Amino acid sequence: MRFQRIAQAFSLGLFCLLLILASYPYPEGIPADLFLRLDPSIAAVTTVAARDLLPAFWLALIVVATGLFAGRIFCGYICPMGATLDCIETLFRSASKRPPRDSGQSIKRFSHKTKYAVILVMMGAAIGGVSLVSWGSPLSLATRLYGLVIHPIVLFAGDQILDLTMPLLKSFPDLAYWSLPARVFASNMFVTLLIVGIAALGIWQPRFWCRNLCPAGALLAIFSRKPLVRRSVSDDCNSCGLCVRTCPTGAISDDPKHTRYSECIACMQCKIICPQHAISFSLTPPAPQAPPALNLSRRGLLWPLLAGLFSAGLLRTNIAQQRSGSKERPLREAELIRPPGALPEPEFLARCVRCGECMKACPTNTLQPVWLKAGLEGIFSPVITPRLAACGINCNVCGKVCPTGAIRSLSLIEKNYAKVGTAWIERRHCLVWEQDKKCLVCDEVCPYNAVSFRPVPDRKNAVPFVIAQRCTGCGWCESKCPVEGAAAIRVNIIGEVRLSEGSYVEKAKEYGFVFRTKDNTVDSLAPDTFDE
Question: Does residue 511 surpass a pLDDT of 60?
Answer: yes
Give the integer Cα–Cα distance in Å for 370 and 368.
6
Looking at the domain assignment, is residue 291 inside a domain? no
286 vs 341, more confident: 341
Which has the closest alpha carbon to 249: 205, 292, 281?
A: 205
Q: pLDDT (tens digit, 9 = 90+) per residue, 416-466?
A: 999 999 999 999 999 999 999 999 999 999 999 999 999 999 889 999 999
Judge if 413 and 497 occupy the same domain. yes
Question: Does residue 214 surpass a pLDDT of 70?
Answer: yes
The percent of residues above 90 in pLDDT, for the chain, comes to 60
Give the integer Cα–Cα distance in Å for 254 and 266.
18
Looking at the domain assignment, is residue 294 inside a domain? no
Looking at the domain assignment, is residue 347 inside a domain? yes
Q: What is the reported pLDDT for 33?
A: 93
Domain boundary among 283, 305, 333: 283
Looking at the domain assignment, is residue 289 inside a domain? no
Q: Give the dihedral sign, CA 9/13/16/18.
A: negative
Domain boundary among 240, 263, 283: 283
Judge if 335 and 270 occupy the same domain. no
Q: What is the reported pLDDT for 180?
A: 83
Judge if 234 and 328 occupy the same domain. no
Give the integer Cα–Cα distance in Å for 393 and 133.
32
DSSP 61-110: HHHHHHHHHHSSHIIIII-HHHHHHHHHHHHHHHHHTPPPPP-STTS-GG
b or e along 154-175 (b: 16 or more beta carbons within 10 Å of the residue's beta carbon)?
eeeeeeeebeeeeeeeeeeeee
Looking at the domain assignment, is residue 465 inside a domain? yes
Judge if 83 and 200 occupy the same domain. yes
Q: What is the reported pLDDT for 287?
A: 58
Q: pLDDT (tens digit, 9 = 90+) per residue, 92-118?
A: 876 655 555 544 444 444 467 889 999
Judge if 478 and 357 occupy the same domain. yes
The CA–CA distances, whole Å, from 310 to 44, 121, 181, 183, 303 equal 19, 9, 44, 38, 10
The answer to whether 324 and 347 have CB atoms below 8 angstroms apart is: yes
The percent of residues above 70 in pLDDT, for the chain, comes to 87
Looking at the domain assignment, is residue 290 inside a domain? no
Give the integer Cα–Cα distance in Å for 403 and 18.
13
Contacts of 250 (CB under 8 A, 6+ apart): 103, 104, 105, 107, 109, 112, 211, 260, 263
The answer to whether 501 and 474 have CB atoms below 8 angstroms apart is: no
User: Which range has the worst mean pLDDT, 288-292, 310-314, 369-373?
Assistant: 288-292
Looking at the domain assignment, is residue 302 inside a domain? no
Judge if 278 and 418 occupy the same domain. no
Residue numbers of the domain that contains 449: 318-532
Judge if 268 and 381 occupy the same domain. no
Judge if 240 and 323 occupy the same domain. no
Question: Does residue 133 surpass a pLDDT of 70?
Answer: yes
Q: What is the reported pLDDT for 296?
A: 60
Q: What is the reported pLDDT for 530?
A: 39
Residue 57 half-sphere exposure toward CB, CA atoms < 13 A = 20
Q: Which helix (H) or strand (E) holds 9?
A: helix 3-21
* Number of domains within the chain: 2
Looking at the domain assignment, is residue 311 inside a domain? no
Phi and psi at residue 225, in whole multiples of 5°? Answer: -70, -30
Q: Which helix (H) or strand (E) holds 283?
A: strand 279-283
* Segments in 274-334 forming alpha helices (H): 298-316
- Conformation bin of residue 71: beta by default, left when phi > 0, alpha when psi is -120 to 50: left
> What count of other Cβ atoms lies within 10 Å of the Cβ of residue 378?
26
pTM given for the model: 0.89
Domain boundary among 283, 304, 329: 283
Question: Does residue 298 surpass a pLDDT of 90?
Answer: no
177 vs 461, more confident: 461
Q: What is the reported pLDDT for 519?
A: 64
Which has the closest alpha carbon to 481: 389, 418, 403?
A: 389
Q: Mean pLDDT for the chain?
A: 87
Task: Sort 47 into a burial class: Cβ within 10 Å, 0-12 / 13-18 / 19+.
Answer: middle
| Cis peptide bond upstream of 25, omega within 30 | yes
Question: Does residue 526 surpass a pLDDT of 70?
Answer: no
What letter does residue 27 receive in the DSSP assignment? P
Q: How many residues does the chain have?
A: 532
Give the integer Cα–Cα distance in Å for 379 and 376.
6
Judge if 142 and 41 occupy the same domain. yes
Q: What is the reported pLDDT for 106?
A: 43
Judge if 88 and 219 occupy the same domain. yes
Q: What is the reported pLDDT for 13?
A: 96
Q: What is the reported pLDDT for 56?
A: 83
Judge if 159 and 108 occupy the same domain. yes
Contacts of 437 (CB under 8 A, 6+ apart): 431, 461
Q: pLDDT (tens digit, 9 = 90+) per residue, 236-253?
A: 899 888 999 889 888 888
Q: pLDDT (tens digit, 9 = 90+) per residue, 370-421?
A: 988 888 888 999 999 999 999 999 999 999 999 999 999 999 999 999 999 9
CATH number, domain at 415? 3.30.70.20
Judge if 256 and 391 occupy the same domain. no
137 vs 235, more confident: 137
DSSP 426-483: -TTT-HHHHH-----HHHHH-TT--EEEE--TT-SS-EEEE-GGG-----HHHHH--S
